[in-house]
Amino acid sequence: MANVNSRATDTSVASTYPRIGLFIDGEWIYERPSCYAVCNPSDEAVLGPVPSASQEDLERALRAAAKGFKVWRDTPPTERAKVLHNAIALLRERVDDIGRIITLEQGKPYTDGRTEVDRACTFLEWDAAQSLRTYGSVLPSEPHMQRMVLRQPIGPVAAFTPWNVPISSPSRKVSAALAAGCSVILKAAEETPGAACAFVQCLVDAGLPPGVLNLVFGEPARISSTLIASPVIRMVTLTGSVHVGKQLSQLAGAAMKPVLMELGGHAPVLIGEGVDAAKIAQQAATSKMRMAGQICASPSRFIVHRSVYEDFVSAFAKIARELRVGDGFEPGVQMGPVANARRLAAVDALVQDARTRGARVVAGGHRIGDRGYFYAPTILADLPVDADAMTTEPFGPLAMCVPVDSLDEALALANSLSVGLSAYAFTNSLHDAERISRELECGVLSINHLGSPGADAPFGGVKDSGIGREGGAESLDAYLVSKTVLQKTARV
Ligand SMILES: NC(=O)C1=CN([C@@H]2O[C@H](COP(=O)(O)OP(=O)(O)OC[C@H]3O[C@@H](n4cnc5c(N)ncnc54)[C@H](O)[C@@H]3O)[C@@H](O)[C@H]2O)C=CC1
Ligand SMILES: O=Cc1ccc(S(=O)(=O)O)cc1
């Protein structure tokens, strides 16, 4: 059975937590009258205060970003790329410390925290290379006329990042913005500020000029409304919930600013007939419970052909029950806590709703212990399709299994929600794989595995899951604008 293991953590790893500051115009600011507390989700201990930005701080950050933009847009792309490469070297050098900060404030196993730092580096690496390829074009023209399209940085960016991936998401956005020549005001999650501070420090130590990257924390709604309304900000990007994504998109629309929104999902996993159900169950348990299910690409709705359904459900449940749950610093722990009491309550509410509607709870279904936000890896089977857990992104260690009799039925159920981010399918039929690729409404589809794209492929959603793409050949597109220049070359 899943259990919270003893708290015999390695104290040499889980040592002190850094001081959290705002970073504005090249200066760290630690003292502010209003502060938040950062908590360790594994034991609910307070790690330290987070200063909350005042209106004057936000105004200063805006002035700094405007000034920083002028400096950075005129910095040669090769110099910009060099700064990003320096930052990668520093992140790699500091991976032990940053991984420790991530586990302290977010709860994920220490190895996962370190892996996330590595992922952050891959975005910087990719975008540094892309910064050298922001090619414009020369259009065919008559004599004495030159027609060109220049690709220019859009301007200062307001970037909002979540607590579940506290360094890779800031890296995704900041690396692309900086590579394109933009300055940034980053509002990182108040729940996990330490990783964002460490990331900013690496870029500063790498040689980023003052004002180009600014970091703020505070009241999220006040910060977003102030920044988005300011004429300084020219583009808005968020990774977060659909609800907040719609709010920020409305603010941006009112101010005529483009958005890049990477929002929630509720990923379907279509499992066809004739597959090895036990083998897929093993992959499913590992992938589902990674980061305690708190990731937008997490496989959630297992839509399984009836012929392999019982084999799949029983294997999945058995593996889930055996997972080691506990403090992320404890060796061998496979799953940490959920992020906060809010998530614990939300996950439990989905389970209780499913229970009352007749679902089978084949693994978990309860909190573990009374200190720390641990929830048992939970597998629900035979839910009605309108159960809350089938329609609301669980963002927790919770998987739903339902049987179907045909691919038609599977596709209809998979496409029945307003979100469409990641999706997965297991099939030995080329015909079905082709149809699924064509008909499944999603931004990313993985067939016969549960992996997600890295820096070199576009990531993002359809429908309510977002607008635009991060990564891939188009990774800088959202941060660039085309300027058409029509130039007569005859003397005037
Ligand atoms: N796509 C993703 O990576 C994420 C998705 N979510 C989704 O959001 C749901 C709720 O998450 P919670 O943390 O409980 O709540 P939440 O949606 O209130 O907060 C999530 C984050 O958004 C920020 N935020 C909230 N309101 C904002 C505003 N008006 N302007 C700017 N930033 C704002 C907060 O600072 C926080 O870091 C989850 O169940 C999950 O479905 C949450 C985090 C990440
Ligand atoms: O949970 C959503 C999520 C997770 C990771 C990333 S990133 O690719 O590391 O930026 C984005 C969104």
Assess if CATH 3.40.309.10 describes domain 267-453.
yes
296 is catalytic: yes
Q: pLDDT tens digits, residue range 343-372?
A: 999 999 999 999 999 999 999 999 999 999
Q: Which of 112, 173, 186, 262 to mutate to test the pocket of ligand 2 (most atoms within 8 A of CB)?
A: 262
Global confidence as pTM: 0.97
Kindly state if the Cβ of 295 falls inside 6 Å of ligand 2: yes
Widest pairwise Cα distance in the chain: 83
Do the two domains 11-263+466-483 and 267-453 of this chain adopt the same fold? no
The predicted model gives 160-188 an average pLDDT of 98
The SS3 call for residue 74 is coil
CB distance 263 to 468 below 8 Å = no
Considering the chain, what is the average pLDDT of its residues?
96
Q: pLDDT tens digits, residue range 32-49?
A: 999 999 999 999 999 999
Phi, psi angle pair for 189, to nearest 5°: -65, 135
Q: Which residue among the candidates 39, 121, 296, 401 is catalytic per the annotation?
A: 296
Kindly state if the Cβ of 171 falls inside 6 Å of ligand 2: no
Please work out, in degrees rounded to the nearest 5, the angle formed at the alpha carbon of residue 124 by the alpha carbons of 118 and 127: 140
Q: Which residue among the candidates 190, 262, 330, 470 is catalytic per the annotation?
A: 262
Kindly state if the Cβ of 463 falls inside 6 Å of ligand 2: no
pLDDT score of 137 more than 60: yes
Q: pLDDT tens digits, residue range 72-109?
A: 999 999 999 999 999 999 999 999 999 999 999 999 99
How far is the centre of ligand 2, averaged over its atoms, from the C-alpha of 365 (Å)?
26
Nearest ligand, CA 291: 2
Quick one: pLDDT at residue 16?
A: 81
Residue 15 pLDDT level (bands cut at 50, 70, 90):
low
The whole-angstrom separation of Cα 160 and Cα 255 is 17
The atom of ligand 2 lying closest to the CA of 298 is 1
Give, in order, the Cα–Cα distances in Å from 55 to each of 52, 260, 472.
10, 25, 36
Residue 149 pLDDT level (bands cut at 50, 70, 90):
very high
The SS3 call for residue 470 is strand
Please work out, in degrees rounded to the nearest 5, the angle formed at the alpha carbon of residue 480 by the alpha carbons of 475 and 481: 140
pLDDT score of 2 more than 70: no
Of all protein residues, the one whose alpha carbon is nearest to atom 9 of ligand 2 is 168
142 is catalytic: no
Residue bearing the bigger pLDDT, 387 or 2: 387
Q: pLDDT tens digits, residue range 305-319?
A: 999 999 999 999 999
For the chain, count helices (H), then strands (E): 14, 24
The atom of ligand 1 lying closest to the CA of 395 is 39
* Terminal-to-terminal C-alpha distance of the chain: 83
Domain ranges of the chain: 11-263+466-483, 267-453
The whole-angstrom separation of Cα 132 and Cα 114 is 28
322 Cβ contact list (under 8 Å, min separation 6) = 2
Pocket of ligand 1 (CB under 6 A): 160, 162-164, 189-191, 220-221, 224, 239-241, 243-244, 247-248, 263-264, 296, 342, 393, 395
The atom of ligand 2 lying closest to the CA of 168 is 9
**Side-chain half-sphere exposure of 439, counting CA atoms within 13 A:** 18
Of all protein residues, the one whose alpha carbon is nearest to atom 15 of ligand 1 is 241
* In the chain, % of residues over pLDDT 90: 97
Buried b (16+ CB within 10 A) or exposed e, 426-452: bbeeeebbebbeeebbbbbbbbeebeb
How far is the centre of ligand 2, averaged over its atoms, from the C-alpha of 149 (Å)?
32
272 Cβ contact list (under 8 Å, min separation 6) = 305, 407, 410, 425, 426, 427, 428, 429, 432
pLDDT score of 195 more than 80: yes
> Within 10 A of 143 (CB to CB), how many other CB atoms are there?
6
Phi, psi angle pair for 304, to nearest 5°: -120, 135
Phi, psi angle pair for 231, to nearest 5°: -65, -15
Q: pLDDT tens digits, residue range 429-439?
A: 999 999 999 99
ipTM reported for the complex, 2 dp: 0.96
Quick one: pLDDT at residue 3?
A: 41
Kindly state if the Cβ of 164 falls inside 6 Å of ligand 2: yes
Phi, psi angle pair for 381, to nearest 5°: -125, 155
Buried b (16+ CB within 10 A) or exposed e, 366-398: ebbeeebbbbbbbbbbbbeeebbbbebbbbbbb
Quick one: pLDDT at residue 5?
A: 38
Nearest ligand, CA 261: 1
Domain covering 11-263+466-483 in this structure, CATH number: 3.40.605.10
The predicted model gives 124-147 an average pLDDT of 97
Quick one: pLDDT at residue 372?
A: 98
The atom of ligand 1 lying closest to the CA of 346 is 39
pLDDT score of 407 more than 90: yes
The predicted model gives 323-336 an average pLDDT of 98
The whole-angstrom separation of Cα 360 and Cα 415 is 24
* In the chain, % of residues over pLDDT 70: 97
How far is the centre of ligand 2, averaged over its atoms, from the C-alpha of 335 (Å)?
18
Lowest mean pLDDT among 16-20, 158-162, 209-213, 393-397: 16-20
Nearest ligand, CA 217: 1
Quick one: pLDDT at residue 117?
A: 98
Of all protein residues, the one whose alpha carbon is nearest to atom 11 of ligand 2 is 169
